[in-house]
Amino acid sequence: MKERGGNPTGMSPAEPALRIFMRRLREIMADPSDGQSRLDKIVHLIAGLMVAEVCSIYLKRQDGSLELFATEGLNPGAVHNTFMKRGEGLVGRCAELAVTINEPDAQSHPAFSYRPETGEEVYHSFLAVPILRGGDVLGVLTVQNKTHKEYLDEDVEVLQTTAMVLAEHLVSGSVAGVNSGAEFSRSVGHVVRGQPLSDGLALGHVVLHEPRVVVTELTSNDPEEEQRRLEAAVEELKSSIDEMLEQGDLASAGEHREVLETYRMFAHDRGWLKRMNDAIRKGMTAQAAVERVQNDTRARMLRQSDAFWRDRLKDLDELSDRLLRILAGRPRSHAMAVQLPHDTILVARAMGPADLLDYDRSKIRGLVIEDSGGSSHVAIVAKALGIAAVGEARGVVERVDQGNPIIVDADSGEVHIRPTGEVIQAYGDKARFRARRQRKYRALRDKPTVSKDGQGIGLHINAGLLMDMPNLAASGAEGVGLFRTELQFMVSATMPRMERQTQMYREIVTEAKGKPVVFRTLDVGGDKALPYLRQPEEENPALGWRAIRLALDRPGLLRTQVRALLRATPGEDLRLLLPMVTTVGEVDMARAMIEREQELLRRRNLAAPKRVLVGAMIEVPSLLFELDSFMPRLDFLSVGSNDLLQYLFAADRNNTRVASRYDPLSVASLRALLTIVEAARRHGRPLSLCGEMAGRPLEAMALLGLGFRTISMAPASIGPVKSMILSLDVEALGSWLVEKVRTAEGNLRAELKRWAETNGVDI
Ligand code: PEP
Ligand code: MG
C-alpha cells in the first residue's frame, strides 16, 4: 500500500488502516442483507482499500473445484459461471498447496489458466491467499492490478486477515452458506467416513470434547495490552506443561513424557512466539494472532507428506488450541463443566479412556474421534459402555458446532453431520430395525445355547472393568471368558496397590454371582501403555517388551497381582490366564511364581482359593510348533486371535492400512486354528477363543466347524452368535469344513457364506 502513496483511508502506516477496515468488515457481516450481497460488499471494500482493480472470492465446491462467487472488476457475468478444476490455474494452485501466490506477471506464469468470460487479460499483477479454516482450504481470495508489480507484505497481511474473517463467517453459514453448494459451511450437511471402533448406531447432538474457541475480536487498539495478554497466556501454558512433567506419577512415562517435552520445546520456540507478536503489532488481538499463526501451521501441515513433521506440526496445532483456551478463560477439564444433553454424541480430536470415563455415561450415546492414535483403548472402553464409536473421522471437529444434530453409524463408519430429514428418517428406520433385532436376541437370553444337532456351546463375554459385569446377566452368557485386568490399570492415574487390587477383583467375583471369571494377568506394554510405568521407547512395540515378558522381568508387578487375586477368591476356583506366552519356559517360570504365592498364603494361614487353574493365551505362532509340550503344562487354553493373526500375517492390528488385509477365514489362519483344536483334543485340555473373530457370526460359525466348543466375545455379540448357533448343524458343518481347510487354497469366506445360506444358518 505504501507503494501507492498512502492508503485510501488516509491513515498510515498499515495498522490503523487494518483496524478501520476490520470495523467496516464487521459492519458488513452484521448487515441484514443476504450472503451474496455481503460477499459483493466485501470484494468492493477490499478493492477500495488496496487500490486494486480486481478483487474476487472463489469458494470450494464439494467436488473440490473452485467457483467464482463474487468479484469487483472482472465481468459480473462470470460470477457462478467460472469454475476452476482442482489445482487448475493460479487460483487452483493457491487452494491446492494452501500457499499465498504473489505474481507481478501472472499471465506469463506457466500455471496461468486464461478464462475469456472473466475479461482478466488486461491484469498482470496477481495476489491470492487461501481462505483457511482448521487445516481445510475453503476458498481463495484474490486481488489483481493492471501494472506489473509485486504486492507488499502489508497487502498480503490485509488479504490474509480478511480471509480469516471470511473463513469464520463461511463456516457459520452467514455468507454463502445454505444452498450455496459450498463444501465447508457449518450450516449444511456433511458425511465424514471413518473406521468403526465400537458397534452401534446413535442419533443425537454434538458435545465437543474440547470446544473450539471462536475468535470474535480480531483487532485491537492497544498492541501493548495484547502483547501482555499473550505473554501471560504463554507463561501459563509453559507452567502447566512443566507441572505435568514434574508430577511424580508421570516422571517415568515414556511416550507421554516425550509428547510433553515436545510441547515444552514448542512453547519456548522463539519463532512461534515472534510470529504471534508480529501479528499483534499489526493490530490483531492476542487470540487472532494465535489463530493466524495456527492457520499457517495447518497450511504447512497440509503440504507436509513426511509423517514425522506432520506429527510435530500437529503438536504445535494442539498447543495453539490450548493457548486459545487459556486466552478465552476456558477451564482445563471440560467434562465436569458441561451440562450434557440426554443424547450426547461426543466429538473429539483425540481422547484417552480416562477422558471418556470422566463424562456422565448415562447420557452418552455415541463417540466420534478424529485421531485413532491410542484409540484402541478408548475403543475398548466405548465397547464396554455400549457406545457407538467411530475413529479416524478426519476433519470432523472443524465441521461441527456444539449442539448440532449428528448420526454415528458404527456399522459402516459413517458420521452424518446435520443430516437432512430423509437421512434422519432412514436412520430412524435402521435404529428401529436394530431395536427389533435386539429384542429378538434378548428373547434368546435364557435359551440354552444348543445347536440344531444337539451340541452344547459355551458362550462367554470379554470384560475388563467393573461396569462390564452387569452384561453377564443381561447377555445370558455362561461366564467371563477373558477379563482384561490391564484396563483397570490403564484408567487409573497411579499404580493400584495390592489392597486396592484385591478389592477390585473381589467386587468382580461378587458381581459374577457364581459364574466363572477368567482373569488374564497384566497384558501391558506395547500399545497398552501405563502412564506411571517406566517403559523404554521401542521401535516395534507389538514385538517388544510386553505382557508376560515384562511380567517375568519385573516380577514385583505380577507377584502383587497374583497375591491380590489369590486373596480375592477364597474358597472359589481362581482361573489365571497368562498373556503373550512364546515359550514353554515362560509357563514354567510363571507357574513357579504362582505356586510360591500359594505357598506363602498357606504359611500365613490365609483363606485360599479352592483351586487355582492356570491357563495361557495362544497368541504367538511359535507355540503352534510346540503344542505337545505346551498344553500338558496348563489347565486350560484360550486363543487370542487378534494377536495370533497379527503375528501370523505380520500385519499390525492397529494399523488400518494393513489390519484388515488378511482374512481370518483364509486357509492359513483356519489351518493354524485347526492345529490348536486337534492338540487340545489330544491332551484333553479345555480350549476357548477370545479374539474379536469369536463375536462375528460367520467367523464364529467357522470356529465351531473347526471344533471349538467355547468362545468368548464382546457382550453385544452374544445374541447374534447364539442365534446363529441355534440354526446350525455343527456336525454337518465340521465334516465339510475340516476337509476343505486341509485341501483348499486361499480364502474360504465366500464358500462359508454360501454354506450358511444353503443350510439356513442365521448369520
Ligand atoms: C487377542 O489378542 O485376541 C486378545 C483377546 O487379547 P487383546 O485383544 O487384549 O490383545
Ligand atoms: Mg492379545
**Along the chain (763 residues), what's the average pLDDT of each consecutive run of 10 residues?**
35 56 80 84 90 93 88 93 90 90 88 84 91 82 92 86 83 56 62 87 91 76 92 87 59 50 71 88 88 80 66 72 84 66 91 72 90 58 83 85 92 91 86 84 94 97 87 93 89 83 95 97 79 77 88 92 97 97 97 97 95 98 97 98 94 74 94 98 98 94 98 91 97 97 96 97 94
Shortest CA distance to 198 belongs to which of 763, 716, 655?
716
Q: Which residues surround ligand 2, an ion (CB under 5 A)?
A: 619, 640, 643
Topology (CATH level 3) of domain 190-210+342-430 = Glucose Oxidase; domain 1 (3.50.30)
Burial, 517: exposed, middle or buried (Cβ in 10 Å; 0-12, 13-18, 19+)? buried
Distance from the alpha carbon of residue 462 to the mean position of ligand 1, in angstroms:
10
Shortest CA distance to 654 belongs to which of 692, 627, 707?
692
The rounded distance, in Å, linking the Cα atoms of 583 and 564 is: 26
List Cβ neighbours of 82 (8 Å cut-off, separation of 6 or more).
67, 68, 115, 117, 118
Q: What cell was used for 656? A: 488400518
Q: Closest-lying ligand to the alpha carbon of 641?
A: 1
| CB-ligand 1 contact for 656 (6 Å cutoff) | no
Q: Closest-lying ligand to the alpha carbon of 527?
A: 1
Q: Domain 223-327 sits in which CATH superfamily?
A: PtsI, HPr-binding domain (1.10.274.10)
The rounded distance, in Å, linking the Cα atoms of 302 and 171 is: 19
Q: What cell was used for 651? A: 500385519
Amino acid letter, 721: V
| CB-ligand 1 contact for 526 (6 Å cutoff) | no
Distance from the alpha carbon of residue 208 to the mean position of ligand 2, in angstroms:
32
Topology (CATH level 3) of domain 447-758 = TIM Barrel (3.20.20)
Residue found by looking up cell 500455471 in the block: 111
The rounded distance, in Å, linking the Cα atoms of 237 and 243 is: 10
| CB-ligand 1 contact for 691 (6 Å cutoff) | yes
| CB-ligand 1 contact for 641 (6 Å cutoff) | yes
Examine the residue annotation and report whether 55 is marked as an active-site residue of this protein.
no
Domain ranges of the chain: 17-170, 190-210+342-430, 223-327, 447-758
pLDDT of residue 643: 92
Q: What cell was used for 368? A: 466420534
pLDDT of residue 248: 45
Q: Is the domain defined by 17-170 classed in CATH 3.30.450.40?
A: yes
pTM comes to 0.64
Q: ω before 13 within 30° of 0 (cis)?
A: yes
The answer to whether 748 touches 699, Cβ cutoff 8 Å, is: no
Distance from the alpha carbon of residue 686 to the mean position of ligand 2, in angstroms:
19
| CB-ligand 1 contact for 640 (6 Å cutoff) | yes
- Which residues is 480 bridged to in the sheet? 461, 517
The rounded distance, in Å, linking the Cα atoms of 486 and 624 is: 26
Q: Which of 617, 646, 687 has most ligand 1 atoms within 8 Å of its beta carbon, as the pocket-test mutant?
A: 617
